[in-house]
């Protein structure tokens, strides 16, 4: 059975030293300090150590083949977004990363699909780069759950979503720049508590802000099974019902009405939770997603799904049909 991993991250092996080039800011660069490993540096500060599978496409293919996976949807690591930078500098950085992805897709058309990054801090430049990325063969774009703390319902982002719909570019919303991060440094809380909350923040903002209502053909996928949105849907719905004066101020359509409207990935690490997600939104809206190659990811690439005893049709939806639909890619590409 075809398996498409809809949520993975990749970097080019070499990154320019943008801090030096632009003369400001803590842009990320890579220090290849020992064979098979690199340090991601944020300015002069150590951010994270990554392994060769974060940049070597052939090594990745070998690794995921072991789990009978044929295709990875690749995008950058959210810390690369650089929405805080000057727009033209962020555009240059984005182009560098997007050209790397486009080149990867040309070299390995049956093993990779790609999502661009765009300078969300400048609507016009973001659309310009989105259009270019469509031309160079990328299937969509990955954006953050907030943009410099602004929520995704802000009017300034609407033309970008509108362009995604018009160009048929898929959108992956990925949590980052986590709320409350400064106050919860211990116990990896930004990743364990902040990330799921960020994704729910993004979904709620897009629903209540009327983005889905105004753009019915926009195709959006939310990472990590939509974070805490689906597990707290009862509360969100009840809030909408009991205090419409606070919640239904920009869109009076019930949040539950949008459950079939967007996709989420399967990264729940929990069969019971995945069963609940299937019940709520249907397997045709769930894409296999792992967060490869990072340790918090589902690095056995959907093994727990195979062991759940689900109907073949449900597994097929999760393993490839939903992703093809979300990305608008024909199955024939992989036959």
Task: Indicate whether 284 belongs to the interface with Zn ion (CB under 5 A).
Answer: no
Binding residues for Zn ion, total number by CB under 5 A: 1
| Least distance CB 80 / Zn ion (angstroms) | 12
Q: Which residues 128-187 are close enough to bind Zn ion by CB under 5 A?
A: none
Phi, psi of 7 (to 5 degrees): -140, 95
| Least distance CB 124 / Zn ion (angstroms) | 28
* Stretch of 165-173, 253-261, 284-292, 312-320 contacting Zn ion, by CB under 5 A: 284-292
Closest residue to Zn ion, judged by C-beta, is 291
Task: Indicate whether 5 belongs to the interface with Zn ion (CB under 5 A).
Answer: no
The SS3 assignment for 243 reads coil
Sign of CA dihedral 44, 47, 51, 56: negative
Angle of CA points 297, 113, 197, to nearest 5°? 40
Alpha-carbon distance of 200 to 181, in angstroms, equals: 16
Our CB check for Zn ion shows the closer of 89 and 291 to be: 291
With beta carbons less than 8 A apart as the criterion, state whether 140 and 172 touch. Answer: yes
Task: Indicate whether 291 belongs to the interface with Zn ion (CB under 5 A).
Answer: yes
* Stretch of 124-132, 191-199, 213-221, 289-297 contacting Zn ion, by CB under 5 A: 289-297
* Six token digits for residue 292: 């490869």
The SS3 assignment for 265 reads strand
Our CB check for Zn ion shows the closer of 80 and 247 to be: 80
Phi, psi of 146 (to 5 degrees): -145, 160
* Stretch of 136-144, 202-210, 283-291, 301-309 contacting Zn ion, by CB under 5 A: 283-291
| Least distance CB 40 / Zn ion (angstroms) | 14
| Least distance CB 272 / Zn ion (angstroms) | 22
With beta carbons less than 8 A apart as the criterion, state whether 212 and 206 touch. Answer: yes
| Least distance CB 246 / Zn ion (angstroms) | 32
| Least distance CB 68 / Zn ion (angstroms) | 21
Per-residue DSSP letter, 30: E
| Least distance CB 223 / Zn ion (angstroms) | 6
Going across the sheet that includes 71-75, the strands are 4-9, 71-75, 112-116, 140-144, 170-174, 220-222, 263-265, 286-287
Per-residue DSSP letter, 23: T
* Stretch of 82-90, 143-151, 182-190, 286-294 contacting Zn ion, by CB under 5 A: 286-294
Our CB check for Zn ion shows the closer of 129 and 291 to be: 291
Binding residues for Zn ion (CB under 5 A)? 291
């Amino acid at each position: 059975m075809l398996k498409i991993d809809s949520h993975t991250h990749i970097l080019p092996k070499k990154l320019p030293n943008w801090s030096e080039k632009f003369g400001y800011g803590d842009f990320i660069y890579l220090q290849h300090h020992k064979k098979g490993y690199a340090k991601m540096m944020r300015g002069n500060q150590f951010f994270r150590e990554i392994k060769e599978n974060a940049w070597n496409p052939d090594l990745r293919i070998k690794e995921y083949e072991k789990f009978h996976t044929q295709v990875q949807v690749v995008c950058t690591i959210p810390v690369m977004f650089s929405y805080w930078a000057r727009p033209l500098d962020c555009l240059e950085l984005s182009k560098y990363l997007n050209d790397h992805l486009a080149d990867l897709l040309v070299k390995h058309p049956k093993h990779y699909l790609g999502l661009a990054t765009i300078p969300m801090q400048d609507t016009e430049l973001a659309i310009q780069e989105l259009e270019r990325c469509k031309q160079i063969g990328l299937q969509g774009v990955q954006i953050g759950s907030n943009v410099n703390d602004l929520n995704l319902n802000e009017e300034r982002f609407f033309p970008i979503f509108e362009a995604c719909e018009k160009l048929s570019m898929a959108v992956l919303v990925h949590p980052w720049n986590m709320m409350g991060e400064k106050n919860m440094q211990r116990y990896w809380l930004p990743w364990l508590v902040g990330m799921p909350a960020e994704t729910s923040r993004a979904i709620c903002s897009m629903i209540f802000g009327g983005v889905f209502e105004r753009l019915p053909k926009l195709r959006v996928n939310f990472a990590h099974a939509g974070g805490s949105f689906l597990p707290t849907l009862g509360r969100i719905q009840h809030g909408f019902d009991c205090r419409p004066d606070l919640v239904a101020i920009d869109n009076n359509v019930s949040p539950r009405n949008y459950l079939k409207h967007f996709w989420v990935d399967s990264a729940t690490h929990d069969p019971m939770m995945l069963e609940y997600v299937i019940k709520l939104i249907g397997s045709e809206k769930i894409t296999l997603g792992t967060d490869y190659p990072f340790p918090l990811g589902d690095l056995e690439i959907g093994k727990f799904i195979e062991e759940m005893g689900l109907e073949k049709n449900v597994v097929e939806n999760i393993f490839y049909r939903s992703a093809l639909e979300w990305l608008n890619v024909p199955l024939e590409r992989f036959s």
